[in-house]
Amino acid sequence: MLETGRATVRLVKLASVVLLAAAAAAAFSPGALAQAGNVKLEWITWSFFRITSPAGKVIITNPFITGNPDAAAGIRLEEVGTPNLILVTDAHRDEVGDAVAIAKASGARIVTPSFEFGNLLAGWGVPEAQVMRRNPGGRFAWEGITIRVVGSVHGSGGTDPGSKFPVYGGIAAGFVVTFENGYTLYFMGSSAATQDMALWAELYKPDAMIFLMSGFTEPLDAATAIKLVAGKSPSLKTLIPHHQRVAPPPGAITVADVRKALDSMGVSIPITSLAPKQSVELKK
């Protein structure tokens, strides 16, 4: 089922996961990559993902290009194309990334982690009609896609040229996205593990989870987040790490560290370790 691959890519074959080729350098053309009826997910770098729904809608997350130390491995701003929706998990510079420029250029709407973040976006020039202010516990529904905003144990301070100190972006969030075919993806953002992850898993039954592997993440914490979700969502079959994985700092957490921690907790779900610009097809 593996359609193409790259020599540098660690391949994973699973019933629920099909790795696809890295996107072409030209602007993203989801129709050419996604099989009808499946979700296609491409990891660009960092926590920047480009996701195509079964019906061809494009959602991007945390589009960090400018200033991203791993940007050379990813895509250029002009390759982002015209997403329909942008999800940003908090106001940190590496999560906001180029969201403002992309929204202005594409007309894409941004679903916010909290009300305050919407005010930052408006202050930075995103037209009000594109700012979908939500808070944890809220939802955004659009053309068969339902997005639940859930909590995140993380800060949300933005960078603004007019302020010496971080500007307050409300509280951080994660997103649970349910696509037209019912496939459900939980993107935890930069959260620490919290018991509330078990609540969200019980309510929304994610099939896949994008989990945090920041340089300094404690592997036991990452594994606990996964364990909490897996314990309440038997359909969880796919785990995808995010964050500074291209050139991690010395002593940084590795996929093997998380694997070991998961094994010690009795969680056997495989980790799908994507290369930059590599895609995976997600099947129910």
CB of 257 to a copy of itself, least distance (A): 11
The binder of a copy of itself chosen from 81, 97, 138, 206 (CB under 8 A): 138
Pick from 71, 73, 122, 79: nearest CA to 97: 71
Pick from 46, 93, 50, 49: nearest CA to 73: 46
- Closer to a copy of itself by CB, 199 or 246: give it: 199
C-alpha count within 13 angstroms, C-beta hemisphere, residue 278 = 24
Stretch of 24-32, 50-58, 76-84, 215-223 lying at the interface with a copy of itself (CB under 8 A): 215-223
Pick from 187, 180, 181, 225: nearest CA to 206: 187
In order of 21, 51, 72, 220, the CA distances from 265 in angstroms are 33, 30, 36, 9
Stretch of 29-37, 40-48, 208-216, 272-280 lying at the interface with a copy of itself (CB under 8 A): 208-216
- Closer to a copy of itself by CB, 5 or 166: give it: 166
The binder of a copy of itself chosen from 203, 247, 249, 263 (CB under 8 A): 203
Could you say which residues in the range 16-45 bind a copy of itself, by CB under 8 A? none
Pick from 173, 225, 232, 221: nearest CA to 195: 225
- Closer to a copy of itself by CB, 8 or 195: give it: 195
**Type of residue numbered 263:** D
User: Would you tell me how many other CB atoms lie within 10 Å of the CB of residue 250?
Assistant: 5
Cα–Cα distance measured from residue 144 to residue 147, given in angstroms and rounded to the nearest whole number: 10
- Closer to a copy of itself by CB, 207 or 221: give it: 221
Based on the shown chain and the rule CB under 8 A, indicate whether residue 216 belongs to the binding site for a copy of itself: yes
Q: Identify any residues that bridge with 250 across adjacent strands, giving them in sequence order.
A: none
CB of 213 to a copy of itself, least distance (A): 11
The binder of a copy of itself chosen from 220, 231, 257, 284 (CB under 8 A): 220
The binder of a copy of itself chosen from 106, 135, 235, 254 (CB under 8 A): 135
In order of 6, 75, 174, the CA distances from 28 in angstroms are 18, 10, 25
Binding mask 70-109 for a copy of itself (x = CB under 8 A): ----------------------x-----------------
Based on the shown chain and the rule CB under 8 A, indicate whether residue 125 belongs to the binding site for a copy of itself: no
Strands 109-111 and 58-61: unpaired
Contacts of 239 (CB under 8 A, 6+ apart): 208, 209, 211, 226, 269, 270, 271, 272
Cα–Cα distance measured from residue 219 to residue 147, given in angstroms and rounded to the nearest whole number: 28
The binder of a copy of itself chosen from 17, 102, 131, 193 (CB under 8 A): 193
Based on the shown chain and the rule CB under 8 A, indicate whether residue 246 belongs to the binding site for a copy of itself: no
Where along the sequence are the contacts to a copy of itself (CB under 8 A)? 92, 114-116, 119-120, 123, 134-141, 148, 150-151, 153-155, 157-158, 160, 162-171, 190-196, 198-199, 203-204, 212, 214, 216-218, 220-222, 224-225, 251
